[in-house]
Structure 1
Amino acid sequence: MMIHIKNVFLIVLLFAFSEARSQEEPTYKKRVLESTEVDILSSYYSQAGDNAAVSGGIGTEELTDVTGTIVVSIPLNDDDVLTIDAGVSAYTSASSSNVDPFDGKGSANAFVASSGASKGDNWVNLKGSYTHSSDDRNDVWSANAALASEYDYFSLGFGGSYSKLFNEKNTEASINANVFLDSWTTVYPIELRPFSDGGLGFFRPDEISGNPNYSPQFTELTKKNRNSYSLGFGLSQILHKNVQGLISIDLVQQQGLLSTPFQRVYFSDVADSFIEDFHLADDIERLPDNRFKIAIGGRLNWYLNEVLSLRTYYRYYFDDWGINSHTASVEIPVKLSDKFTVYPSYRFYNQTAADYFAPYETHLSTENFYTSDYDLSKYNAHQYGLGVSYTDIFTQLHISKFGLKSIDLKFYRYDRDTSFGYQIVTAGFKFVMD
């Protein structure tokens, strides 16, 4: 009998010990990112129009841009991911070439691109972000930093975000904040440069037609930096097993140089002066050094069936420069097979004009602020798109140690009722390390 009781006692001790060990050992959790992913992105962009801000609201807006970007996401452990995003863009612009329309071989004209050195440039960007997820995956923190540079522009940015999932992960609340510190190398229209700092210089006076007494009211800008501060809030909710909704609000405060130094303005109360066929600037664009923006948006995504989904979006925007805008878009992904999906899309946009906008040669020289940039004008715009995606979750195609997970191809056509339009083609390839 004693032996039997002793055995039972040992069994109880062993069970208690094993139970304690099982409580001490960590439970299994799925990694946020299983393995390193590499995204290779590229795009070709082409635009045209007749309202170039560089030449005061008239002239060619032709521009082409080719961009290449690589994004590498690296899992540091089960919970943390480091992402590096690097890109370069090379563009040729008929509009920016007319910062100096006289440096080419042909006669200067706002509707003809100059063939000089100012017709093209490169833009480079580098961004890094770090993301941490809690053990239960209900809390996600991230931090980021970015650098961007162009021939007349440099930008430093940093920020972070926090997301909280609750209600059995059916609800997500998020907040994000970012700061961008930008600086300009002030490049002015060529004919205004001799008048810098109130000087009495002259620009090729023997060649001036129209008003021969060319004397612009130009003075150099006193500020050469721009700071932008943004704060965003989001709330998403699974409304039904097939329906998800999102509402968001974004606040942006900008301070500093908010105009573009090489964009011309012409006054109706100043006599016109020309060299060749190019109208010499009366001044440059001048805008307030503060701007506050608010955007309120909402998304509704509806999974209709195994073949068809519906993604909708609406945003209302307003700022203290007098612009109010509405954006509405719809995208309809159609699943053709396990691997192929097509998604046609449409986007509508309209806005009111900024308080400081007026077309070519309609501003008055007595005004404090003025611009003829049609991005700040009243207009309606339509964008039509078509995308095709290929997905292979088993990554059967390999390049070295990387398997091809997906391919995305997109085409967009944009038309604005101010004679402006563009087309853009993008391609994206996602690779996963085995």
Structure 2
Amino acid sequence: MRKTYSLRCSILFILITSLTYAQDSTATYKKRVLESTEVDLLASYYSQEGNNAAVTGGLGTEELTDAAPTIVISIPMNDDDVLTIDGGISAYTSASSSNVNPFDGGDNPADPFVASTGASSNDVWGNLTGTYSHSSDDRNTIWTGKLSFSTEYDYTSFGFGGSFTKLFNEKNTEISLNGNVYLDSWKIIYPFELRPFTEGGQGINDFLFNAYPLLGNANYDPQFTELGEKRRNSYSLGLNLSQIFTQRLQGSLAVDLVLQDGLLSTPFQRVYFGNVEDTFIQNFQLADDVERLPSERLKLAIGGRLNYYLNEIFVLRSYYRFYIDDWGISSHTANIEVPVKISQSFTLYPSYRYYNQSASDYFAGYEQHFSTGDFYTSDFDLSEYNANQFGFGLKYTDIFTRFNIGGFGLKSIDLKYNYYERNTGLSANMIAGGFNFVMQ
């Protein structure tokens, strides 16, 4: 039966090539970059907890949950061009950000370790990105252009960029250059108790201080000045070199340079000074100031990947990155993943990631800053810490796409779980899944 099938295929191939030659004796076959439309349905769920919230000056709950569904559609426009549309939302609930205004919690007293029930406790981020790529006839040159837009309650971002890729050495060597620009703007939101001290506010005569008794320092008078910027611009340039060394060994090297300018601090993150007497309403300490950081930041990252095919069952994937910036942070990231092919359709991939970084020059914890400083933050994302992440994934692949919905065949399913933990006390669980469909 196999011989009969092979014979039929051979005859069909001869007929097709003969017809093609009869139509145009000079035509050459060119494989399409993308044969048919593909759709990726992605979703993730993230949950974290900790006790070093930046909104409450490095002390308070970091409890947060986030659900993020995404759809990616790749459409072949012709033999050489592909349009990719990526749209997604991220809906989160944050006990930390709820305390931007801790005094709207009804009957519950304000407390940095308890979530407020106000409007700032949740938000939705939305993003839409379009990417257009063009490949040369020999598939050795690829041009890509990209536009993106994202928004949430207090933040809007517009981005554009592109890349150029060149393949050499019978496609064993690949070099690419990419650049991106993001133009962002803030809607400035200050901690609730500092708003009376902005321009036009009533200061200590505001209704807040009349509605609640002040505990500790009754002469609350923060020397607060508003932030001058509302924009944040980011410019990135990246260079990537990939090389196939042998049939089993492949590696890559990437260099990324990022320059940011504008408002780089978060307006609603509090700072408490060690040389200022504390003032409370209920259980909540009133801010001495907001986070203040330099208006420029230069980042450099150098990373490399090395993948080795051990045998038909095991593949070893490794990654390392070194990062440094002019805020005093340097970091090291190491990652290893070992896909295990347990059948033609199923692959398991356990992974481990280690990360450590030094503290920013501008970081100090709760009440460790002084009011005489120019820049200060108590955001533990800028502190010294190390982190471990353990992951486990499962991938199902159906090369024949036997299951289909509405003319789209299911090509693959990916499921992954990660557990993340910092030595500062923050921990998180992440679950992600993806379904890849191809038009039949």
| Class of the TM-score when normalised by the shorter of the 2 chains | over 0.9
Name 2:395's counterpart in structure 1: 389
Amino acid aligned to 1:286: R
Could you tell me the percent identity over the aligned residues? 64
The two structures have a TM-score, normalised by structure 1, of: 0.94
**Which runs of structure 1 show a deviation greater than 4 angstroms over 4 or more consecutive aligned residues?**
20-24
Name 2:433's counterpart in structure 1: 427
List per-residue Cα deviations over 1:162-196 (Å, max 9, x = no partner): 11000111100100000000000000000000000
Amino acid aligned to 1:171: T
Kindly state the Cα deviation for residue 240 of structure 1 after the two structures are TM-superposed: 1.1
Kindly state the Cα deviation for residue 25 of structure 1 after the two structures are TM-superposed: 2.2
Amino acid aligned to 2:182: F
Whole-Å separation in 1 of the counterparts to 2:24 and 2:71 = 44
Name 1:248's counterpart in structure 2: 254
Please tell me whether residue 118 in structure 1 is matched to residue 120 in structure 2. Answer: yes
Amino acid aligned to 1:164: K
Name 1:54's counterpart in structure 2: 55
Say if 1:357 and 1:376, in contact at 8 Å, map to a contact too. yes
List per-residue Cα deviations over 1:227-269 (Å, max 9, x = no partner): 0000000111111110001011000000000000000000000
1:159-238 matches, within 5 Å, as: 159-197=161-199, 201-202=203-204, 203=206, 204-206=208-210, 207-238=213-244
Amino acid aligned to 2:67: V
1:312-323 matches, within 5 Å, as: 312-323=318-329
Name 1:15's counterpart in structure 2: none
Name 1:295's counterpart in structure 2: 301
Name 1:66's counterpart in structure 2: 67
Amino acid aligned to 2:119: A
Whole-Å separation in 2 of the counterparts to 1:117 and 1:422 = 24
Kindly state the Cα deviation for residue 218 of structure 1 after the two structures are TM-superposed: 1.2
The DSSP-based 3-state class of the residue aligned with 2:96 is helix
| Higher Cα radius of gyration | 1
Name 2:281's counterpart in structure 1: 275
The two structures have a TM-score, normalised by structure 2, of: 0.93
1:139 to 132, 138, 141: 141
Whole-Å separation in 2 of the counterparts to 1:412 and 1:217 = 44
The DSSP-based 3-state class of the residue aligned with 1:98 is helix
Kindly state the Cα deviation for residue 356 of structure 1 after the two structures are TM-superposed: 0.1
The DSSP-based 3-state class of the residue aligned with 1:193 is helix
Say if 2:391 and 2:417, in contact at 8 Å, map to a contact too. yes
Say if 1:198 and 1:219, in contact at 8 Å, map to a contact too. no
Name 2:87's counterpart in structure 1: 86
Kindly state the Cα deviation for residue 22 of structure 1 after the two structures are TM-superposed: 10
Kindly state the Cα deviation for residue 201 of structure 1 after the two structures are TM-superposed: 1.2
Amino acid aligned to 1:182: D
Say if 1:227 and 1:254, in contact at 8 Å, map to a contact too. yes
Kindly state the Cα deviation for residue 29 of structure 1 after the two structures are TM-superposed: 1.1
Name 1:35's counterpart in structure 2: 36
List per-residue Cα deviations over 1:50-89 (Å, max 9, x = no partner): 0000000000000011111000000001110000000011
Please tell me whether residue 353 in structure 1 is matched to residue 359 in structure 2. Answer: yes
List per-residue Cα deviations over 1:281-315 (Å, max 9, x = no partner): 00000000000000000000001111000000000
List per-residue Cα deviations over 1:195-248 (Å, max 9, x = no partner): 003855125334111000101121111100000000000111111110001011
Whole-Å separation in 1 of the counterparts to 2:428 and 2:175 = 36
List per-residue Cα deviations over 1:104-156 (Å, max 9, x = no partner): 12100000000122110111000000011111100011000000000000000
Say if 2:144 and 2:162, in contact at 8 Å, map to a contact too. yes
Say if 1:406 and 1:431, in contact at 8 Å, map to a contact too. yes
Kindly state the Cα deviation for residue 404 of structure 1 after the two structures are TM-superposed: 0.3
Please tell me whether residue 344 in structure 1 is matched to residue 350 in structure 2. Answer: yes
Say if 1:205 and 1:212, in contact at 8 Å, map to a contact too. no
Whole-Å separation in 2 of the counterparts to 1:73 and 1:199 = 52
Say if 1:198 and 1:218, in contact at 8 Å, map to a contact too. no
Name 2:405's counterpart in structure 1: 399
The DSSP-based 3-state class of the residue aligned with 1:173 is strand
The DSSP-based 3-state class of the residue aligned with 2:433 is strand
Unpaired runs of 5+ residues, structure 2, are 1-20
The DSSP-based 3-state class of the residue aligned with 1:205 is helix
The DSSP-based 3-state class of the residue aligned with 1:197 is coil
Whole-Å separation in 2 of the counterparts to 1:85 and 1:363 = 42
Name 2:16's counterpart in structure 1: none
Amino acid aligned to 1:159: G
Whole-Å separation in 1 of the counterparts to 2:250 and 2:333 = 20
Whole-Å separation in 1 of the counterparts to 2:343 and 2:164 = 36
The DSSP-based 3-state class of the residue aligned with 2:259 is strand
Kindly state the Cα deviation for residue 365 of structure 1 after the two structures are TM-superposed: 0.1
Aligned residue pairs: how many?
415
Name 1:265's counterpart in structure 2: 271
Please tell me whether residue 26 in structure 1 is matched to residue 32 in structure 2. Answer: no
Say if 1:259 and 1:286, in contact at 8 Å, map to a contact too. yes
Unpaired runs of 5+ residues, structure 1, are 1-19
The DSSP-based 3-state class of the residue aligned with 2:236 is strand
Kindly state the Cα deviation for residue 26 of structure 1 after the two structures are TM-superposed: 3.0
List per-residue Cα deviations over 1:340-379 (Å, max 9, x = no partner): 0000000000000000000001100000000000000000
Whole-Å separation in 2 of the counterparts to 1:237 and 1:129 = 25
The DSSP-based 3-state class of the residue aligned with 1:375 is helix
Amino acid aligned to 2:123: D
